[in-house]
Amino acid sequence: MPPEFTDGPLAVLGITDGALTVHLADGRTVPCPARSLQALAAWALDKRKIRLGAARVHDNGFDQDPLIILTESAVAHFGLPASLADQENLRLPADHEALKSVTKAGWELTKAGFGPWPRIFKRLDGKRHCVQLFLTPWGALEDRVWGPAGELPAGDLARMLGTYARLLITPRGTVAVTGEELMTSLRPPTKAEWSQDEGRYVSVKVPHTLHTLVDPAPPEAPDEHPVVAADYPEEGSRPASEALDEEACIWVRPADLITDVERAFTHVVALDVQVAFLAACRRLHVGTGPAVHYPRNPDFDPALPGSWYVDLSHVETDPRLPSPFTSSGERPDGPGWYATPTVAYAVELGADVGPMEAWVRETHSPYLQPWYETLRDAYLTVMADLGVTTDLDDEAFLAAMAGYKDGDPLLVTLAGAIKATAKAGIGKLRQRPNLGVDHVFGDPWPALKRLTWRPDIRAMILSKARTNMHRKMHNLATVAGRYPLAVNNDCVVYAAHGPSPLPLLLGPDGEPVRGGFRLGVNPGSVKHQGSQTIDWALDLLAGGVNIANEIKDASLVPVA
């Protein structure tokens, strides 16, 4: 750890025996003399008193600002309300006494104001010195991700978030915000370079990064984006065939296509792809520059990220498998826009594709590779601490996964938070307007000013994830004659002769199916999501219920 950050990336503040106490990530506690927010910010940045923060994650980036987490008792200590009255904008009024004192003392807030994750800064010596705050009683830690972590003892919270910061990056807000921050920190868009002409260092753009704002191509943009609304000013008026619709697959096999042989099986077994969307980022080339329009019959090039207008309705696929080309799993009924991985998979299946139009990005790179590696390594590290390692055989892996949630609850929460950071960070690439704030259809919204607002990249990831999963289902069907009953995003359900997933993965020769599913903790491998009786499944399937969405929450049948 660099000497300037020997006290770690963050501190959790709480009241102990009537005094404000700082809990550090390494378990130490120290007193904090601050009685106001401005005094707290000054204390956090004073290296003579505390050495908080973390080193940059890339040489071209910046060191990470210290994070101060205020528990319920610390919030009261600084004269702040226990909760936010404004639940729509999630901001404390600017005329609150505590905030007026902050600005009067020469400190500033960002344009976002003082919400659950405020930033306080002061300009000194031509530099901006900043402290990030987290207010746990204001919902800074999302319940759906962190559970009751905001109510943890201060020391436990410091240990858990300190581990998260060490493995990934110091939290900067929701897991979506933090995932996006990690993305740009690992691939800084600019760097300092010496200019002979100017005789000083100047900021220059870094190749292969997202360093320039670019508009989406019309098919890639959501309906409310200005490039779409200019032609389709009424919400919902754009024809579906004009929009790129790359999403995960949600599909149920029609009941009349379930065979008598399958109905005679005793169980259904669900397999869940580990961190499927993150796995799709591995070695994926995405566009880093603007889209180039080819309006007339371009040749398909699988090396070019982008969107292609292709008719795939003629491609024959087995109806016992979902169509790989749509999120519904239904066969396309005419031409449509598809991301490069979808068209490339159609070619792989033997289709003759003839694009009629394309928007492609001729400047591209594996931009997300370091992001993928960092999140993968963090997840594997935490899971290994919970007893699920990459070297386990199939039976040992199933046993370890069945019991890992009985381990250290802080690590269990942390594993879920790392996965959520990956998923939410990908979602941030196509952030829609905030429905809680007035927004005029067709007007730009703040997210469009981010270099990482890139719906085309999100489409590439989801296209890759869906086709990766379909390829494994297709190989299992081709080699072993097994067809899914239902698919829900990254979960697939098969009929089986018992509750164990192990026989599902083997071909007629008793060996794992080449190109099929593999058990394991690595992103892209699968885990056992659950098992149920065949009668349970058939009853729900008769009503069109997606059992892949239900099996996790049902009473699971123990694995024999």
CA–CA separation, 259 vs 238, rounded Å? 40
CA–CA separation, 251 vs 548, rounded Å? 9
Cβ proximity of 429 and 216 under 8 Å = no
Q: What single DSSP character describes residue 390?
A: T
Closest among 219, 241, 217, 221 to 311, alpha carbons compared: 241
**Dihedral pair phi/psi, residue 137, rounded to 5°:** -70, -10
| pLDDT tens readout for residues 508-558 | 999 999 999 999 999 999 999 999 999 999 999 999 999 999 998 654 444
Cβ proximity of 114 and 41 under 8 Å = no
Catalogue the E-assigned strands of 75-140. 108-109, 119-124, 127-135
- The helix (H) or strand (E) run that includes residue 528 is strand 526-533
In this structure, the number of other CB atoms found within 10 A of the CB of residue 67 comes to 26
Query: Per-residue confidence of the chain (560 residues) as pLDDT tens digits?
Result: 678 899 999 999 999 999 999 999 999 999 999 999 999 999 999 999 999 999 999 999 999 999 999 999 999 999 999 998 877 778 899 999 999 999 999 999 999 899 999 999 998 887 889 999 999 999 999 999 999 999 999 999 999 999 999 999 999 999 999 999 999 999 999 999 998 888 899 999 999 999 999 999 999 999 999 999 999 999 889 999 999 999 999 999 999 999 999 999 999 999 999 999 999 999 999 999 999 999 999 999 999 999 999 999 999 999 999 999 999 999 999 999 999 999 999 999 999 999 999 999 999 999 999 999 999 999 999 999 999 999 999 999 999 999 999 999 999 999 999 999 999 999 999 999 986 567 889 999 999 999 999 999 999 999 999 999 999 999 999 999 999 999 999 999 999 999 999 999 999 999 999 999 999 999 999 999 999 999 999 999 999 999 999 998 654 444 43
Beta-carbon contacts of residue 88 (< 8 Å; ≥ 6 apart):
436, 437
pLDDT at residue 558, rounded to an integer: 44
pTM of the model: 0.96
- The helix (H) or strand (E) run that includes residue 252 is strand 250-252
pLDDT at residue 360, rounded to an integer: 98
**Cα 371 vs. chain centroid, distance in angstroms?**
11
Cβ proximity of 128 and 121 under 8 Å = yes
Query: Is 120 exposed, middle or buried (CB count within 10 Å of its CB: 0-12, 13-18, 19+)?
Result: buried
- Count H helices and E strands in the chain, helices first: 16, 20
Cβ proximity of 30 and 22 under 8 Å = yes
In this structure, the number of other CB atoms found within 10 A of the CB of residue 302 comes to 13
Query: Is the four-CA dihedral 464, 180, 449, 138 of positive or negative sign?
Result: positive
Query: Is the four-CA dihedral 491, 492, 495, 496 of positive or negative sign?
Result: negative
CA–CA separation, 96 vs 87, rounded Å? 16
pLDDT at residue 90, rounded to an integer: 84
Query: Is 501 exposed, middle or buried (CB count within 10 Å of its CB: 0-12, 13-18, 19+)?
Result: buried
Token digits of residue 443: 């007007």
CA–CA separation, 130 vs 120, rounded Å? 6
CA–CA separation, 133 vs 169, rounded Å? 15
Token digits of residue 113: 């104001």
Beta bridge partners of 17: none
Closest among 271, 323, 256 to 538, alpha carbons compared: 256
- DSSP assignment of 177-204 equals HHHHHHHHHHS-SEEEEEETTTTEEEEE
Cβ proximity of 471 and 515 under 8 Å = yes
pLDDT at residue 520, rounded to an integer: 98
| Amino acid identity for residue 532 in this structure | Q
Beta-carbon contacts of residue 297 (< 8 Å; ≥ 6 apart):
354, 355, 356, 357
